[in-house]
Amino acid sequence: MVISAIGSMANSKGDRFSRTGGFTLLEILVVIVIISIVISFASMSFDSAPEKLDHEAKRLTALMKLVSEEAIMNSREYRVVFTADSYAFAKLAGGEWREIADGVFRSRELPGEFSLDLTLGNEPVKLGVDNGEKTKSPAAIMFLSSGEVTPFELAIKNTSGKEIIISNQSGLIEVESDQP
């Protein structure tokens, strides 16, 4: 009985000293996880212009590659029509071009700080601003069911002067960047 009383006193005395010594490893890990989550949300909200430019260029390139594959697989003709600040995909159906209104190939407007410059073949094309009129624009890249794509060079620029070039001059749709 004396041994058990001495043993319990030692444990209670040891527990008291170990609990007042600091934080546990688990508490420190929880605080680190919370801080890292807050930092990741803060960094996402401060998306920089070059990253946005890169994101827009990659999205447009991926969409153009996808529509090229769709044209071949579905034996349909597609095109993408450009204005200075937007682009829209259309498919040839019943002898006329019909804009694709929803889904992956829906029309998209670029953020206000971006603009587009298009060269078809070796001819620069003046891109107007979309004013809602449904006119046949010469500023279109064709994606044919045979796999052919109109030769083009498309520059996506931001207001700070950075630009990314999307082209198919080598036969493949590629992205070139002037960013380091």
What pLDDT was estimated at residue 81?
Answer: 93
**What is the rounded distance in angstroms from the CA atom of residue 160 to the CA atom of residue 169?**
26
Q: State the residue for tokens 């990314």.
A: 164
What pLDDT was estimated at residue 48?
Answer: 63
pLDDT digits (tens, 9 = 90+) for 145-154: 999 999 999 9
What average pLDDT does the segment 62-66 reach?
92
Range of lowest pLDDT (10-24, 59-73, 108-122): 10-24
Residue 141 pLDDT more than 90? yes
Of the candidates 74, 66, 87, 86, the residue with the CA atom closest to the CA atom of residue 149: 66
> Can you point out the beta strands (E) in the chain?
78-82, 86-93, 96-99, 108-109, 114-120, 123-125, 140-143, 152-158, 163-167, 174-177
Token couple for 126? 């003046």
